[in-house]
Amino acid sequence: MKITVEEDKCCAGGQCVLAAPEVFDQRDEDGIVVLLTDTPDSSKYEAVREAAQICPAACIHVADN
Amino acid sequence: MTPDAGREPARVVVVGASAAGLAVVEAARSQGYRGELTLIGDEPHLPYDRPPLSKQLLTGDWPPERLLLREQAHLDGLAVTMKLGQPASTVDADAREVVLADGDRVPYDALVVTTGVRARCLPGSDGISGVHVLRTLQDALALRAELVPGRRLVVLGAGVLGAEAAAVARGLGAEVTVLDPLAWPLARIVNREIGGWLAEVHREHGVDLRCSCAPVTGLHAAEGHVAAVELADGTVLPADTVLVAIGATPAVEWLAGSPVTIGGPEPASGSGGVLCDPRGQAAPGIYAAGDVAAWQDPATGEYRRYEHRLNATEQGRAVARALLDPGFTPPPSVPYFWSDQYDLKLQTFGTLDADDEFIVVDGSLGARRFIGVSHRDGLVRGALGVGMPRQLRAWRTAVAEHAPWKETTPA
Ligand SMILES: Cc1cc2nc3c(=O)[nH]c(=O)nc-3n(C[C@H](O)[C@H](O)[C@H](O)COP(=O)(O)OP(=O)(O)OC[C@H]3O[C@@H](n4cnc5c(N)ncnc54)[C@H](O)[C@@H]3O)c2cc1C
Ligand code: SF4
């Protein structure tokens, strides 16, 4: 799995962090999403997919390899 | 064959191809649903996102393609039959069929209503050019074409939509007047203190913001184009463009004669939405999610409808689970909302009622970076932040749990 985010779409609500706290965080200054890893291990896949589906700005993309 | 009796429905039909409808089909597949999925939408486009319509699309920063919620390839992977470009016109609940405007009948075992809301128009404005609403991509492109330097824009309604559009229009050099009969902007979302603060921000940016103003009685037109807005107190405001941002009504006409119940006008009685139980079920085999849906709050018994982007996704996902698992009960949700105006980002968790106590716990209004928390009877009800998103999130649990009020950020 490879994750990419479109920072300029992020609306900074942090729903991704609630869904997958080991993969996503938010910048202190403006709350924009920070990817802690773009290739999480498989135990996180489900939570990452959930984050991508929940993200209200549709800015998290997941590619399976 | 009753899908509610515990068997997975063989055919799920979702009407309304936007945020909520997309969430239903996507989550159904994630939950392992292998049956037939059909997504029906009256707009010709693939599902796209609405919040940017009054932000990055209206400024011209983003082309329409950037609003696409999912790429075509991703949608193909979900194996959803898409029927776009024509509305559902009725439901034949006895036959379990949705009837489309062209007469096509689409059979279902479970039906999900995600038709959202439609912008309310100003009576008597039909056929006058230069009068806009803002709900669809077409609406936004038409409005954008008129927002040029010096243009006199009058916005009816200082809600989120009107306030965001006013901010964008000022940025594009238009002369902007905003009218609202209520006492402060965003009056349905923020309290008086924040409303007053926000009014200052708009005035500083050159918006002629007139709250508590007399109701609009009509429009003047010259050669078919809008020329002025007239108020009940006799004021006549010259206008080249008018944006009508006076709220929206649930798109439920097509459900007339179906077994669903439509809520009353008050917020606690569902404000005209499809009444649903706390799992999103409106009638046997029929569910609703998103802006159109008024789910019952198990704690208060009230039916509440939210026009918030995250709510559409959360409810869509919850319905997908409820469809497939009769034992599923969604976790209590925390309403989340954001709005961008000028360089400010407002966010709220929960609700800020006018009667609640509201205290700034971090930053300050003057610095335009702060967090305020509302509480009632000693319990936290809502939190609003400007420019402090990460810090605001720390309050979410306290809001969700109605935790006892204290002024320190919860750990
Ligand atoms: C300009 C704008 C800015 C916004 N900004 C924000 C924001 O900053 N933050 C926030 O939280 N929320 C915001 N929102 C609200 C958010 O966009 C909505 O909550 C969200 O779009 C709701 O999704 P939905 O799928 O329930 O309904 P909708 O997005 O309204 O989609 C319903 C779809 O169903 C279609 N439809 C209707 N009737 C029929 C029929 N009979 N047959 C077939 N199809 C039908 C409609 O055409 C539409 O495509 C904004 C909304 C707008 C319009
Ligand atoms: S959920 Fe999406 S919009 Fe929200 S912070 Fe995460 S990436 Fe940004």
**Chain B interface includes A26 (CB < 8 A):** yes
| Amino acid (one-letter) located at B252 | V
**Model pLDDT for residues B392-406, shown as the tens digit of each residue:** 999 999 999 999 998
Residue B5 above 70 pLDDT? Answer: no
Ligand 2, atom 2, lies closest to the CA of A55
A53 CB neighbours in chain B (<8 A) are 23, 26-27, 30, 313, 317
ipTM, two decimals:
0.96
Cα–Cα dist B157/B133, whole Å: 11
Whether A27 has a pLDDT exceeding 80, the answer reads yes
**Does position B370 have pLDDT exceeding 80, yes or no?**
yes
B396 at the A interface (CB within 8 A)? yes
When pLDDT is averaged across residues B113-131 and rounded to a whole number, the result is 95
Tokens of B196: 């007053």
| Closest alpha carbon to B249 in B163, B166, B162, B135 | B135
pLDDT of A58 above 90: yes
The model carries a pTM of: 0.96
Q: Given CB atoms, is A64 within the 8 Å cutoff of chain B?
A: no
Q: Which of A63, A43, A46 is nearest to A54 (CA)?
A: A46
Per residue in B159-205, pLDDT tens? 999 999 999 999 999 999 999 999 999 998 899 999 999 999 999 99
Confidence bin at B280 (pLDDT 50/70/90)? very high
How is B59-128 classified by DSSP, letter by letter? Answer: HTSS-GGGGBSS-HHHHHHTT-EEEESS-EEEEETTTTEEEETTS-EEE-SEEEE---EEEPPPTT-TT-
Q: What is the pLDDT of residue B3?
A: 44
With an 8 Å Cβ cutoff, are A28 and B390 in contact? yes
Q: For residue B313, which residues of chain A lie inside 8 Å, CB to CB?
A: 53-54, 56
Task: Using the predicted structure, report yes or no on whether residue B410 has a pLDDT greater than 90.
Answer: no
Closest CA to B60 of B172, B177, B138: B172
Average pLDDT on B309-328 reads: 96
Percent pLDDT > 70 in chain B is 98
Residue nearest to atom 5 of ligand 1 (CA): B51
Q: How many CB atoms lie within 10 A of CB B66?
A: 15
Distance CA B249, CA B251 (A): 6
How far CA B329 is from CA of B197, B243, B323, B397, in Å, comes to 40, 41, 11, 19
